[in-house]
Amino acid sequence: MSLLLAAGGMECALADEKSPDATHASRLTDLFASAAIDGAHCDGARLVTPALPVLDAIHDFRVVTVTTPEGFAYYALHPCDFADVATRLDLSAPGALVVGIRTIGTTLSAVVAAQLRELGIPADRTTVRPTGHPYDRRCNFEPAQRDDILRAVAGGALFVICDEGPGRSGSSLLSVAEALEREGVPREHILMLCSHEPDAAALCAPNAAQRWSHYGHAAAGMTERLPMRAGEALDAGNWRHHFVPVREAWPAVWPQMERLKFFSRDRRSVFKFEGHGKCGAEVRARNQALADAGFGAPYLGQQVGFGEHELVSGSAVQMHGVTPELLTRMAEYCAWRSRDFSCLDADAADLAAATRINIEREFGRDLGELSLRVERPAICDARMQPHEWLACGERWLKLDAAAHGDDHFYPGPCDIAWDLAGVVVEWQLEPSAQEFLLAAYRRASGDDMTRRLAAYELAYATFRMAWSRMAATAVADAEERHRLLRDYRRYRDQAKVFARRQSAIAA
C-alpha cells in the first residue's frame, strides 16, 4: 500500500509538471494497483521484477512537490474502497476509460482500472487537473486525451470519473463529466465514483443539483477496512459521551472533520485513524515517541492505518483545574516537543498572511505587517485545549498529540510558540500564570519566548475564531452549532484584544 501511494504521488507530480516521464510513472502506479487488488497472491519478487525496468526508464530527474492526498491521510479512505464500489455495480461494457482527478484521483483511477480489468472489462485510464475557482472548476483535455476519448466513444466504452468527495461545491467532478460530454460522450455512459453520497441540494457550485442529476454516480461510503478488534464508533463527537460525562461541559466539534475512531471490543483501547502510507508512518513514530517519553498513553501499534492507544484511567482536565504543577508539565512538554519533533522546513509566512486576512475581514482593519518568527521549528501539537489533557493521579498525559501539527489545517510546521500560545488562549491564562508558564518553559528549553509569543497568540486566536465560524456554517445540529458559535465569540474577543496589542507593539 505504501508503494502504491508513493507511486501515485510521483505520477501526479510529474503529470502536473507535464513531464515526459509521467507515462512511465503511471505504469508504476498501475503495477502496484494491480498488486493491491490481488493482495493475497502478491509477493515481493512479483513487484520488484517488473518495477525495476519502469524505474530505469525515468530520466526526468527534478525536484517536484508531492501533494498529500487528504482522504488517505486524514479521512480513512482506503484506495481499495473504490475497487469495492466497482465490484458492487452491475457493469457491462466492452471497455472503460477511467479518468482520475488529480491529486487523489490518480491513485484511485489506477485501482479502479485494475479492478475493472479483474472483472473482465478492458480499461485504460488518464488523469486531469480541473482549474479555476474551487466552487466553479473547469476541465480541459489535452489533445492526446481527446484522441483517447474519441476512440473510447467509438468503442462504446464506459467513462468512470474517480475522485474523493464531492466537497462543498461538487464542481471538480461535474467539470470532468461535462467536459467528457462536450467531447461527445453520451451522458448515460458517464459514471462518477466518489467517497460519500452528497446532498446535491447543498452543493454550492452554480446550478449544482440539476447538473448532478444528469450523471450516474456511486459512493464508496465509510471504509470497511477496519482493525479486527474495532468496536463501538467514537468519531463525530461520540467520544464525548464516554470521556466528558457532563453534557454542558462538552467541547465543540466539527463532526465531518473528525477522524474515524473506535473502542476496541474489550474497551481496553481506542483505535484512531492515523493515515495510510508515509503519513501514517510519521504519525505512528510520533505516537511511539510520546509514549516512550511518558507524555502520551501507551501506544500499541497500527493496523490498516489505525493506531491503537491503551485506555488509561483518569479524568479530563477542566479549565478551572490549572495549577502551577500542570503549567510546569505543559511547559516541559512543549520544550520536549521542540527538541524531539523539530523540523527544518517550517515556515509561518502563510499563517501570517491568513491571520492578516481574517483580521481584516472580521474587524475591518488593516493589521499591517505581522512577524511570526520561527526560532524553534517543530511539528506542533495544535491541540492544547483542557479536554486534551488527562489527569492520572499526580501526573498528566497529553491526548491526540501526533496527528494535527502537519495536517491540512493550520498551523503546519512552525515555531513551538504556537503550542504555548494555545495554552494561553485555551486556558485563558492571567498574566501571572502566563509569566509562570514562560519561565518554566525557559528553564526546560533554554529558549526565551517573550518577544515572539504575542504574535502567535494573535495568530492562534484568529485561526480558532475563523475555524469555529466556518464549522458552525457547516453543521446541521443546532446544539453543536451553538457550541461552535460560543467558541467563535470567545476567540473573537481574544483576537480583538491581541490585535490591539499587536498594533501597539508595532507602533
Residues 376-387: pLDDT tens digits? Answer: 999 999 999 999
Helix, coil or strand: residue 183: coil
Residue 33: pLDDT band (50, 70, 90) is very high
The C-alpha cell that represents 111 in the structure block: 485501482
DSSP classification of residue 126 = E
- Tens digit of pLDDT for each residue in 259-314? 999 999 999 999 999 999 999 999 999 999 999 999 999 999 999 999 999 999 99
Q: Is the pLDDT of residue 40 over 80?
A: no
- Same domain? 168 vs 236: no
Q: Are residues 260 and 177 in the same domain?
A: no
**Residue 255, φ and ψ in degrees, nearest 5:** -55, -40
% residues pLDDT > 70 (the chain): 98
Give the model's pLDDT for residue 444.
98
- Which structural domain, as residue segments, surrounds residue 366? 230-506
Same structural domain for residues 172 and 300?
no
Together in a domain, 129 and 213 = yes
CATH code for the domain in which residue 164 is found: 3.40.50.2020
Instruction: Give the three cell numbers for residue 148.
Output: 483517447
pLDDT in tens, 147-179: 999 999 999 999 999 999 998 899 999 999 999
| pLDDT tens per residue, range 469-479 | 999 998 989 99
Considering only the C-alpha atoms of the chain, give the largest distance between any 2 of them, rounded to a whole number of Å. Answer: 76
pLDDT at 41: 57
Here the CATH number for the domain that contains residue 380 is 3.90.1200.10
Residue given cell 493491491 in the structure block: 36
| d(C-alpha 123, C-alpha 95), whole Å | 6
Question: Three-state DSSP class for 199?
Answer: coil
Classify burial at 194, counting beta carbons within 10 Å of its beta carbon; exposed 0-12, middle 13-18, buried 19 or more.
Answer: buried
Look at residue 507 in the predicted model and tell me its pLDDT: 52
Residues 234 and 215 in one domain: no
Out of 179, 194, 219, a domain closes at 219
Number of domains in the chain: 2
Mean pLDDT of 41-64: 75
Reference 111, options 164, 170, 51; nearest CA is 164
Q: Bridge partners of 390?
A: 316, 397
Answer yes or no: are the C-beta atoms of 227 and 308 closer than 8 Å: yes
Cα–Cα distance for residue pair 392/387, rounded to 1 Å: 13
Residue 160 falls inside a structural domain: yes
- The answer to whether residues 260 and 212 belong to one domain is no
Same domain, 380 and 235: yes
**Claim to verify: residue 104 and residue 171 sit in the same structural domain:** yes
